[in-house]
Amino acid sequence: MEYDERLARFRQCHVNPFDRGENDDTPDRKDPPKHEVRPELFTTETKTQSSDRTMDLGLAEDHFSRPVASFVASDIEQLKQAIEECKRLILELPEHSERQKDTVVKLIHLRLKLQELKDPEEDEPNLWILLEHRFSKEKSKSVKQTCDKCSAIIWGLIQTWYTCTGCYYRCHSKCMNLITKPCVRSKVSHQSEYELNICPENGLDKQDYRCAECRTPISLRGVPSEARQCDYTGQYYCSSCHWNDTAIVPARVIHNWEFEPKKVCRSSMRYLALMISRPVLKLKEINPLLFNFVEELVEIRKLRQDILLMKPYFITCKEAMEARLLLHLQDRQHFVENDDMYSLQDLIDISSGRLSCSLTEIHTTFAKHIKLDCEKCQAKGFVCELCKEGDILFPFDSHTSVCQDCSAVFHRDCYYDNSTTCPRCARMTERKQEEPVEL
């Protein structure tokens, strides 16, 4: 009896103005507006049963039709009471029953509304600059994200949140003033280099048994917080700074040609994501032996050397400039500048075979323009001066050799480095000797 009386009093606090008896013949009775929904917690039972009436929990009241400004403290307390009663009913109802599922749905709606009342939307600035972050206010309401500061879910439907346009750091508006991590993009701008030692661990004692980023006490036993190692930096982090994200570690690629993603902390994951397309790896100096064991690297290096030899043709060709042939490599501009710098994305694509296919296709397109499509580029070819036979030669042909001094092109079988004298170099030397010396 005491239970029924308590629920009866609870329902009296949540009376719906449109919830009247079925036999009410009051002449001034009006139908509820279309935009106001009178949800029923259970629809499988008749309203005359007292057990169903006790489960209504006051949810028939249309909380969502009232403006936010009109809510007072009593509304929050009523919602809290309804949430607690909903939780109790979920435990009492049969497992996996329709009534239990309906109650869970009602519990979710009540919690969302309570969160909205606690954190009402205010006029937040569209742009917020903090610790070199450039936070932009997000307008998406449907995408589910996680706050990088408090690790809680961002409910875009009822919460204001921001994303850094530089490093894509996401957080609630209420967490903005708690941010202590500077923008990773600033580190990329000032220090564009990788850690090239594989997991350079120093031990927790060197970190004073604290998180390397936020200085929270940590230990391998998980008390007071679990210590998680970042495979990129080798340091240990707390669970708030290390979410067990995985990324390909550059040091393992360069030294072991290993592309299996490893667990890294949040800051390392963002840094690697921003650095992945930057050509900062000079493999000839870091690990020259890698070319002896990875055939794909040798193939890519030859294609890049050929493209560098084709570049002068395109720069001086009007048709090539109008066709913008060099834009085929706009995503890898370093390919038309040098042949020894690689990005981490280049190495990943080499390992998967994607780069070899795309670069071979671009190489074929460039060679076709020079040797077949453009007469001006054909006129810049060479004739082997040693045998004076064969077709027009170009420095990027596979069967040719190029003089390192004057860039003349010969058949590979005719010209041997260090053993054959270049006729063009001989003529240039003779000319210089015949010129009179000017005092």
- CB-based contact 382:394 (threshold 8 Å): yes
**b/e string for 264-278 if b means 16 or more Cβ within 10 A?**
bbbbbbbbbebbbeb
The Cα-based distances of 31 to 11, 36, 42, 58, 354 in angstroms read 22, 10, 22, 20, 65
- Domain membership of residue 394 (yes or no) is yes
> Residue 153: its pLDDT value, please?
84
Reduced to 3 states (helix: H, G, I; strand: E, B; else coil), residue 246 is strand
Do 134 and 175 lie in one domain? The reply is yes
353: left (phi over 0), alpha (psi -120 to 50) or beta: left
User: Do 395 and 363 fall into the same domain?
Assistant: no
Percentages helix, strand, coil for the chain (3-state, rounded to 5) are 45, 10, 45
Tell me the β-bridge partners of 128: 135
7 inside domain: no
Could you give the number of structural domains in the chain? 5
**Final residue of a structural domain among 276, 294, 311:** 276
Domain identity same for 348 and 365: yes
- Judge whether 331 lies within some domain: yes
Q: How far is CA 369 from CA 325, 363, 375, in A?
A: 9, 10, 9
Tell which of 364, 379, 394 closes a domain.
379
Contact 407, 417 (CB under 8 A): no
Residue 161 lies inside a defined structural domain of this protein = yes
Cα 103 from Cα 40, distance rounded (Å): 10
pLDDT at residue 166 in the model? 84
CATH number of the domain within which 243 lies: 3.30.40.10
Contact 45/54 with Cβ under 8 angstroms? no
Report d(CA 256, CA 193) in Å as an integer: 19
CA distance 169 to 184: 9
Strand, coil or helix: 33: coil
Verify that 289 and 373 share a domain, yes or no.
Answer: yes
pLDDT for 28 equals 44
Pair 159, 219 in one domain: no
Q: Measured between alpha carbons, how far is 358 from 355 in angstroms, rounded to an integer? A: 5
pLDDT computed for residue 223 by the predictor: 79
Does a structural domain hold residue 99?
A: yes
Cβ atoms of 103 and 93 within 8 Å: the answer is: yes
What does pLDDT average to in each consecutive run of 10 residues of the chain (439 residues)?
51 46 42 40 38 42 41 69 89 87 84 68 68 82 78 80 86 85 80 89 91 90 88 93 94 95 94 92 93 94 93 90 89 91 95 94 93 90 84 88 86 73 86 69
Please state, in angstroms and as integers, the Cα–Cα distance from residue 282 to each residue in 187, 254, 298, 336, 342, following that order. 20, 10, 14, 16, 6
d(CA 98, CA 55): 14
Straight-line distance from the first to the last Cα atom of the chain, in angstroms, rounded to the nearest whole number: 124
Question: Which of 276, 311, 339 finishes a domain?
Answer: 276
Residue 199 structural domain: 192-276
Residue 59 inside a domain? The answer is no
CA–CA distance, 172 with 153 (Å, rounded to integer): 9
176: Cβ contacts below 8 Å, ≥ 6 apart: 128, 130, 135, 162
Helix (H) or strand (E) holding 376: helix 375-378
121: left (phi over 0), alpha (psi -120 to 50) or beta: beta
Is position 26 within any domain? no
CATH number at residue 149: 3.30.60.20
